[in-house]
Amino acid sequence: FSFLVFIECKSITVLTGAGISVASGIPDFRSSGGMYDTLRPELITATPDERRAMEMDPTSVVEKGMFMQNQFPYLEVRRPFILGTQSHKWKATISHRFADLLHTKLPNKLARVFTQNIDGLDFQCEALNLDHKIVPVHGTIGKVACEFCGIEANYEQFCHDVRANIKDIYGVDEDAPKESSSILCKN
């Protein structure tokens, strides 16, 4: 850490992945008990071909190609994550706060925080967020845009639409609709 304060250290770039969010209680996709391990295609609103694809390769549920054909598999699987992110169910970890501390204590040295995480926990670090230092390379659940037209959508409205239109395949939200219905672009 001492090297970071020396004049020879011109800039700092932080690269993060799933490991820094696991401590907040978010399971990563690939671990035992993670999303791919617990995926149950038979519960998802999908065609037989889409279910077969998810059975053969669970990662297909998060692929853009499937989403563009049918939004329900992704939204049904990610419903609790989307709504949990909105309610701040998970908090930034000490690793997230370390990047924030670097930016605060060593002004002008932190160039960027590149994160593979979509959980949005980096955006809870106000200094990083205000100075636009965060680059979510796979996108973020904390901001939404239409996949077709690209126009940014209202995040709170999107979460409302997820709550009202997307069924709960995990059986934890008794107020969830029994069947999913499309969330359409408002633009």
Q: Which residues are identified as catalytic?
A: 138
Residue 15: which H helix or E strand, with range?
strand 12-16
Partners of residue 134 on adjacent β-strands:
113
Buried b (16+ CB within 10 A) or exposed e, 88-104: eebebbebbbebbebbe
The amino acid at residue 107 is P
What is the rounded CA–CA span in Å between residue 72 and residue 56?
A: 18
What is the rounded CA–CA span in Å between residue 77 and residue 35?
A: 8
How many CB atoms lie under 10 A from the CB of residue 24?
17
What is the rounded CA–CA span in Å between residue 17 and residue 180?
A: 31
What is the rounded CA–CA span in Å between residue 120 and residue 118?
A: 6
The amino acid at residue 112 is R
